[in-house]
């Protein structure tokens, strides 16, 4: 029984780690740009595709296999730098202050374009590249084998929560982000270049989603539809945590990850709906999410 | 000198400023008097670059600045204290004060120097330095907003209805702070808006009146 519980927790937390990367990016972009970015899931799947491609290239070029680890981060950084500033500048910037329906249509259109572009570039078959997973091997703890890669995922997510916290609280750009979230207009009169803050926050959001995808790719591979799946889960997690809440997204990801793991073990048929059942219950009790508040928009 | 030349501004489809022209001399204090809705706040927001010009120009020492984006105005030495204070609630008072100085890229020594300057000018503030911006009373908040404007407002400072909502004792306190500012920072041009100029009469050099988006030298309202 204890063994099963430990297994559940590790599975659940590893799952939570991956969901967290997507959800926290979504929530960051929402609180700074005030745009619910439907195309956010695409950055997850593009991150996964790029990571798989670079990983395969590293392996086939005969380089040291451990280089597949930095390749995961490199992939996410490439996606963020290539797409973040470009999408913000040419697709999002003109929608600021316009109606939410328009913003959702624009980002949904982007999502559809990205879906087809991915099929065009990477084909419709699934890709796998699990060198990082194989390299780390398994641990035998009390007779149960755990993938060490899962522990890496959990540690990465924990480090990311701390780094984001430090970025927001301790750095200059973090303070500017808080000021822009609190009051965009007064931030401008204080001399804060809000446009630059938007580009940076959006690019960080893209990086986090792409990193989620890249880190997920060794465990799940990548195939069409991955982006949509990630997006819907991220929405649920962001809503449970309270939109705009970093710690909220982390806690919500843990709740959803653990419930999914429990569902897989006890009631596999319900695995797909569990995140939404959790969301339903949380929102019935706390309509603005676990950490959300009505009036204050915080980060 | 800060000059507005036939400035026209639309807000939400309404022409709120109609060919507004006036000038504030460096070091002079001007009060802009008008009723609610006359366009006082719009005038200040326009000066801070928050609203696009429909027509006309704004010149700072002869230089056309209407294309300088809002975030560039602070670096020109223009400080702004909105009527409703709008401090960043997550930051304490000192962080609120320092933020604009950081945003325009002042080095740590200069930030510290300006902070000490503001603290000596507004002696209420040092005692509040660790209080969260969201926890202050109205009067304290107004004082912090003034201090925040002064951190970057080295040439012009715009105060939007600073006495609005202040109890008489606090208003007198604020007025004393303003006269101290006039004495100790003689080169700062001050533009204060008010619906009733009773607290600022003693410190201003110049009174302008705004009515339905038109600014003039004479009080066309109170002819009675």
Instruction: For residue B34, give the CATH number of its domain.
Output: 3.40.50.300
Q: Which residues of A touch B104 (CB under 8 A)?
A: 191
- Nearest CB neighbour to A192, from listed B91, B103, B148: B103
Per-residue pLDDT band for B223 (boundaries 50, 70, 90) equals very low
Q: In angstroms, rounded to a whole number, what is the distance separating the alpha carbons of residues A180 and A186?
A: 8
Domain assignment present for B166: yes
CB pair distance less than 8 Å for B86 and A183: yes
pLDDT at residue A299 in the model: 52
Q: In angstroms, rounded to a whole number, what is the distance separating the alpha carbons of residues A170 and B159?
A: 31
Range of the domain at B26: 2-86+138-216
- Nearest CB neighbour to B50, from listed A176, A189, A192: A189
pLDDT at B169 over 90: no
Q: Which residues of A touch B103 (CB under 8 A)?
A: 176, 190-193
Which residues fall within 8 angstroms of residue B93, CB to CB, at 6 or more apart? B87, B125, B128, B129, B130, B131, B133, B136, B144
Instruction: Check if the beta carbon of residue B165 is closer than 8 Å to that of residue B85.
Output: no
**Contact with chain A for residue B74, Cβ under 8 A:** yes
**Contact with chain B for residue A97, Cβ under 8 A:** no
**Contact with chain B for residue A176, Cβ under 8 A:** yes
CB pair distance less than 8 Å for A191 and B74: yes
**Contact with chain B for residue A186, Cβ under 8 A:** yes
All structural domains of chain A with their residue ranges:
15-224
**Contact with chain B for residue A220, Cβ under 8 A:** no
CA neighbor of B133 nearest in space, from B118, B117, B154, B148: B148
Please count the CA atoms within 13 angstroms of the CA of B171 that sit on its side-chain side.
14
CB pair distance less than 8 Å for A188 and B50: yes
All residue ranges of chain A with pLDDT < 50 are 296
CB pair distance less than 8 Å for A175 and B148: no
3-state secondary structure of B75: helix
Give Dmax over CA atoms of chain A in angstroms.
Answer: 62
CB pair distance less than 8 Å for B71 and A176: no
Two tokens at A98?
A: 């316009």
Q: Which residues of B touch A192 (CB under 8 A)?
A: 71, 99, 103
CB pair distance less than 8 Å for A188 and B70: yes
Q: Which residues of A touch B91 (CB under 8 A)?
A: 175, 178-179
pLDDT at residue B224 in the model: 38
pLDDT at residue B220 in the model: 60
**Contact with chain A for residue B75, Cβ under 8 A:** yes
**Contact with chain B for residue A293, Cβ under 8 A:** no
pLDDT at B130 over 70: yes
Q: Give B91's DSSP letter.
A: S
Q: Which residue has the higher pLDDT, B173 or A79?
A: A79
Q: What is the mean pLDDT of residues B192-217?
A: 87
Interface mutation vs chain B, best among A186, A187, A194, A196, most B CBs within 10 Å: A186
**Contact with chain A for residue B119, Cβ under 8 A:** no
- Nearest CB neighbour to B74, from listed A172, A175, A190: A190
Distances (CA, A) of B82 to A51, A154, B74: 49, 46, 14
**Contact with chain A for residue B91, Cβ under 8 A:** yes
CB pair distance less than 8 Å for A178 and B88: yes
Domain assignment present for B158: yes
- Beta bridge partners, B57, equal B5
Domain assignment present for B173: yes
Q: What is the pLDDT of residues A4-18, one digit of tens each?
A: 888 899 999 999 999
Interface mutation vs chain B, best among A32, A168, A187, A190, most B CBs within 10 Å: A190
Q: In angstroms, rounded to a whole number, what is the distance separating the alpha carbons of residues B214 and A113?
A: 51
The CA-based angle B83-B85-B90, given to 5 degrees, is: 160
Of all residues in chain B, the one with the smallest CA distance to A181 is B88
Q: What is the pLDDT of residues B59-98, one digit of tens each?
A: 999 999 988 999 999 999 999 999 988 999 889 999 999 9
CB pair distance less than 8 Å for A172 and B102: yes
Q: In angstroms, rounded to a whole number, what is the distance separating the alpha carbons of residues A51 and A110?
A: 21
Interface mutation vs chain A, best among B68, B70, B94, most A CBs within 10 Å: B70
**Alpha-carbon dihedral angle through residues A240, A245, A248, A250, given to the nearest 10 degrees:** 110
Q: What is the number of domains present in chain B?
A: 1
Q: In angstroms, rounded to a whole number, what is the distance separating the alpha carbons of residues A26 and A202?
A: 9
pTM score of the predicted model: 0.90
pLDDT at residue B160 in the model: 94
The bridge status of strand B206-211 relative to strand B14-24 is unpaired
**Contact with chain B for residue A188, Cβ under 8 A:** yes
């Amino acid at each position: 029984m204890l063994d099963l519980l430990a297994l559940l927790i590790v599975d659940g937390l590893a799952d939570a780690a991956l969901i967290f990367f997507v959800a926290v990016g979504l929530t960051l972009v929402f609180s700074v740009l005030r745009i619910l970015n439907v195309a956010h899931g695409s950055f997850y799947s593009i991150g996964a595709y790029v990571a798989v491609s670079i990983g395969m290239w590293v392996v086939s070029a005969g380089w040291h296999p451990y280089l597949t680890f930095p390749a995961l981060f490199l992939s996410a950084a490439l996606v963020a730098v290539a797409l973040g500033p470009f999408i913000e500048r040419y697709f999002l910037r003109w929608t600021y202050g316009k109606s939410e329906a328009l913003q959702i249509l624009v980002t949904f259109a982007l999502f559809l374009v990205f879906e087809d572009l991915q099929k065009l570039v990477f084909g419709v078959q699934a890709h796998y590249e699990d060198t990082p997973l194989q390299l780390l091997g398994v641990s035998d703890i009390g007779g149960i084998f755990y993938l060490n890669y899962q522990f890496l995922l959990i540690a990465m997510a924990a480090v990311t929560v701390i780094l984001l916290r430090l970025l927001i609280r301790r750095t200059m750009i973090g303070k500017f982000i808080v000021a822009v979230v609190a009051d965009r207009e007064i931030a401008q009169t204080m001399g804060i270049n809000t446009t630059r803050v938007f580009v940076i926050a959006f690019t960080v959001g893209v990086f986090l989603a792409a990193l989620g995808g890249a880190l997920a790719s060794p465990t799940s591979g990548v195939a069409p539809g991955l982006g949509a799946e990630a997006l819907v889960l991220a929405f649920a997690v962001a809503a449970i945590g309270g939109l705009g809440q970093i710690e909220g997204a982390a806690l919500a990801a843990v709740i959803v990850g653990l419930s999914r793991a429990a569902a897989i073990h006890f009631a596999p048929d319900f695995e797909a709906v569990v995140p939404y059942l959790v969301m339903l219950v949380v929102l019935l009790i706390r309509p603005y999410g676990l950490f959300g508040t009505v009036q204050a928009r915080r980060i | 000198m800060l000059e507005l030349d036939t400035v026209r501004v639309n807000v939400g489809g309404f022409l709120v400023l109609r060919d507004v022209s006036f000038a504030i001399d460096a070091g002079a204090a001007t009060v802009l008097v008008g009723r609610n809705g006359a366009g006082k706040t719009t005038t200040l927001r326009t000066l801070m670059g928050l609203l696009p010009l429909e027509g006309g120009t704004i010149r700072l020492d002869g230089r056309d600045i209407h294309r300088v984006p809002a975030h560039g105005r602070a670096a020109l030495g223009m400080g702004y204290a909105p009527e409703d204070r709008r401090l960043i609630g997550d930051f304490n008072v000192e962080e609120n004060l320092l933020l604009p100085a950081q945003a325009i890229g002042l080095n740590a020594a200069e930030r510290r120097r300006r902070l000490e300057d503001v603290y000596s000018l507004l002696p209420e503030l040092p005692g509040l330095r660790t209080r969260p911006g969201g926890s202050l009373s109205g009067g304290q908040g107004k004082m912090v907003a003034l201090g925040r404007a002064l951190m970057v407002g080295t040439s012009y400072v715009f105060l939007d209805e600073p006495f609005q909502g202040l109890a008489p004792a606090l208003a007198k306190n604020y007025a004393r702070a303003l006269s101290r500012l006039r004495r100790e920072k003689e080169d700062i041009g001050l533009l204060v808006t008010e619906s009733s100029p009773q607290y600022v009469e003693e410190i201003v050099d110049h009174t302008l009146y705004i009515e339905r988006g038109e600014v003039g030298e004479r009080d066309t309202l109170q002819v009675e």
